[in-house]
Amino acid sequence: MAPLLHLRDVALTFGGQPLLEAAEISVSAGERVSLVGRNGSGKSTLLKIAAGLVEPDHAERFVQPGATIRYLPQEPDFTGYKTSLAYVEAGLGPGDDAYRAQYLVTELGLTGEEDPATMSGGESRRAALARVLAPEPDILLLDEPTNHLDLPVIEWLEQELKSLRSAMVLISHDRRFLTSLSRATVWLDRGVTRRMEKGFGDFEAWRDEVLAQEELDRHKLDRKIAREEDWLRYGVSARRTRNQRRLGELFALRDQRRTARVATGNVRLEASEAQTSGKLVIEAVDVAKAYGDNVVVKNLSLRVARGDRIGIVGPNGAGKTTLINLLTGGLQPDSGTVKLGTSLEMMTLDQRRESLDPATPLGDALTGGGSDQVMVGGQPRHVISYMKDFLFQPLQRGTAVGALSGGERGRLMLARALAKPSNLLVLDEPTNDLDLETLDLLQELLADYQGTVLLVSHDRDFLDRVVSAVLISDGDGVWTEYAGGYSDMLTQRGRGVGAKARAVEKPSAATPKSAPSAAPAASSAKRKLSFNEKHALETLPKKIEALQAEAAKLNAAVAGDLYTRDPKLFAKATARLEEVAREIGDAEERWLELEMLREEIGA
């Protein structure tokens, strides 16, 4: 099948260093491709080149004539738009359905009247998603589509993307999301791409095989160089003319070994553990907290023992951060009691990257300034050595925090937090912007951690790998605890995280524009028909009727003396009749499938 989009031989250099070298990516109609690689490997840049937004040093770019492309950036630009709906509708092309734009805005929990200047990160992401999904383009290029989204919206988005016929290229750190959607994987590593015709679920085993083969090839090359150097050193005829070719080959081998771009080292994560805490870490009895009519916690009783790993999940606005503050003593309850155990040393990793001054140099952010030593678990370490553990280069010591990528800021926050001794880790969205390898190592660190962990996360796969119990919001301040990970909770509960309820009326004229917007209404707890499915249910009967009428006309034509009068026209009519019969069968089967789904949802 001819590709809709094909990039090949892409080369791009930043700051004298090659970012992309002979990279390639192609996507055909209906394909779903995951684009994976470490933070800083150039994934977002490659996607921008595919979208035609960045000019590379060299590339061959082919787009099928007439094919439509929509690109979802990590940071959308709302300049010039007065409302979220105006921004979404601006992405529609000639002939696109304006109703679909309004439908998606509503499904994603927006009213359409939000002022882009005051929207939160989650609202901005939902508006940007509605803008690229509304036209139903031939190709969707999605850069971290789940960033800033809560679980109900992530699960709704999965279902919506599955219902689309658009080809897709996806960048995401959400394993579950990639595994669910992708059917092919492109790995961008050291400027070069490799493609596997399987989804992300098979990626990690394949990647490990590739790296193991590279290591074996490198070992063979080293042995060959050693043999040639022995010949050069001890061969009595090394300088004779007939051996100059062999000498040249040795120099070429050395150059090959020197210039080979080896895989970047792994992040070294090690939590500095304090003395053992008491057996009982937290005991909450009938705790309640409300802000006016908004009840965040109601009659919660919970015991957290040493070594527990509690995952806290719920939609945005459910009060997860407030609950964390109540349990750790940072906030007093309106009623009930919270008792903290003995010998607690707590370390908190805040999800807000802006808690770091953007002008602070990276080295000072780790040392506190005025020193080249970092205290790690009470022991001094040179800042450069500690930076290398988190994949920072020595030259980055003076780089301002504001100039770091999202992933680099995430690693910096981890480096700062893990240097402090603790026996209680409080992690609020620690997986934001981290690449898959760093997520793996963070998971291993938490598995080996001897203390207690409270974890807020929307990453279902990470929750499954880390936590021993899940505390989930049931709405109206009710929180329920389930043993096991996120998937275990789904099995016991029978449904996922529901969206926080909200009023759907548009704000009145008296409502100030700066008032916070309501939480998203999208919910995947109960399957809903997508826009495409609803549209198909409405239009398929008319389509079937039209096809049947065409079939009747064709049958009448071929039943007469058409073959005698015009054999070519007879052959054409017969071929079209067969094609119409197939179309009728496909349409009837699809309509029956959707009608059964509609009845099942209604039941």
Q: In whole numbers, what is the pLDDT of the chain averaged over residues?
A: 81
Average pLDDT over residues 479-487: 89
pLDDT tens figures, 29-58: 999 999 998 877 889 999 999 999 999 999
Using CA atoms, how far apart are residues 504 and 111, in angstroms rounded to an integer? Answer: 7
Average pLDDT over residues 449-469: 88
Is residue 89 over pLDDT 90?
yes
> Tokens 């020197």 sit at which residue?
258
Residue 328 in 3-state DSSP?
Answer: coil
pLDDT attached to residue 442 = 80
Using CA atoms, how far apart are residues 156 and 161, in angstroms rounded to an integer? Answer: 9
Q: Decide: 170 and 158 in contact? Cβ < 8 Å.
A: no
Q: In the structure, what pLDDT confidence band is assigned to residue 501 with cuts at 50, 70 and 90?
A: very low
123-137, 398-412, 466-480, 490-504: the lowest-pLDDT one: 490-504
Who's near 247: CB < 8 A, 6+ residues apart?
Answer: 232, 238
Is residue 264 over pLDDT 70?
no
| pLDDT above 70 as % of the chain | 83
> Tokens 């109960």 sit at which residue?
526
Average pLDDT over residues 347-369: 77
Q: Decide: 446 and 381 in contact? Cβ < 8 Å.
A: no
Q: Is this model's pTM higher than 0.95 or not?
A: no
134-138, 410-414, 450-454: the lowest-pLDDT one: 410-414
Please give the angle made by the CA atoms of 463, 465 and 471, to the nearest 5 degrees. 30
Q: In the structure, what pLDDT confidence band is assigned to residue 525 with cuts at 50, 70 and 90?
A: very low
pLDDT attached to residue 524 = 38
Average pLDDT over residues 174-180: 92
Is residue 528 over pLDDT 80?
no
pLDDT attached to residue 100 = 92
pLDDT attached to residue 186 = 95
Average pLDDT over residues 541-565: 81
Q: Decide: 455 and 466 in contact? Cβ < 8 Å.
A: yes
Instruction: HSE, CB side, 13 Å, CA atoms: give it for residue 112.
Output: 19
Its sign, for the CA torsion 581, 585, 588, 594, is: negative
pLDDT attached to residue 412 = 84
Average pLDDT over residues 201-208: 88
Is residue 143 over pLDDT 90?
yes
pLDDT attached to residue 521 = 40
42-51, 325-334, 339-348: the lowest-pLDDT one: 339-348
Q: Decide: 63 and 37 in contact? Cβ < 8 Å.
A: no
258-272, 326-340, 410-424, 462-476: the lowest-pLDDT one: 258-272
Higher pLDDT, 597 or 31: 31
Average pLDDT over residues 571-580: 82
DSSP 414-461: HHHHHTS-BSEEEEESTTTT--HHHHHHHHHHHHH--SEEEEE---HH
pLDDT tens figures, 282-315: 999 999 999 988 899 999 999 998 888 999 998 8
pLDDT attached to residue 165 = 92
Who's near 399: CB < 8 A, 6+ residues apart?
Answer: 361, 362
Is residue 252 over pLDDT 70?
no
Is residue 485 over pLDDT 90?
no
Is residue 147 over pLDDT 80?
yes
Average pLDDT over residues 330-357: 80
Q: Decide: 471 and 483 in contact? Cβ < 8 Å.
A: no
Residue 77 in 3-state DSSP?
Answer: coil
pLDDT attached to residue 505 = 35
pLDDT attached to residue 145 = 93
Is residue 168 over pLDDT 50?
yes
Is residue 259 over pLDDT 90?
no
| pLDDT above 90 as % of the chain | 34
pLDDT attached to residue 237 = 47
Q: Decide: 360 and 401 in contact? Cβ < 8 Å.
A: yes
Q: In the structure, what pLDDT confidence band is assigned to residue 113 with cuts at 50, 70 and 90?
A: very high
Average pLDDT over residues 524-535: 62
Is residue 526 over pLDDT 70?
no
Helix (H), strand (E) at residue 73: none
Q: Please, which contacts does 27-30 make with residues 24 or more away whose CB atoms are closer than 8 Å?
A: 27/3, 27/139, 27/167, 27/168, 27/169, 28/1, 28/2, 28/3, 28/4, 28/167, 29/1, 29/4, 29/138, 29/165, 29/167, 30/165, 30/166, 30/167
pLDDT attached to residue 47 = 95
For residue 486, give Cα distances in angstroms to 61, 382, 460, 497, 507: 42, 40, 6, 10, 36
Adjacent-strand bridge partners of 335? 288
Using CA atoms, how far apart are residues 501 and 294, in angstroms rounded to an integer? Answer: 12
98-107 and 121-133 helices, crossing angle to 10°:
150
pLDDT attached to residue 115 = 93
Using CA atoms, how far apart are residues 270 and 281, in angstroms rounded to an integer? Answer: 22
Is residue 248 over pLDDT 70?
no
| Helix, strand, coil percent content, the chain, rounded in steps of 5 | 45, 20, 35
**Phi, psi dihedrals of residue 383, rounded to the nearest 5°:** -60, -35
Domains identified in the chain and CATH numbers = 5-68+137-205 (3.40.50.300), 280-493 (3.40.50.300), 531-602 (1.10.287.380)
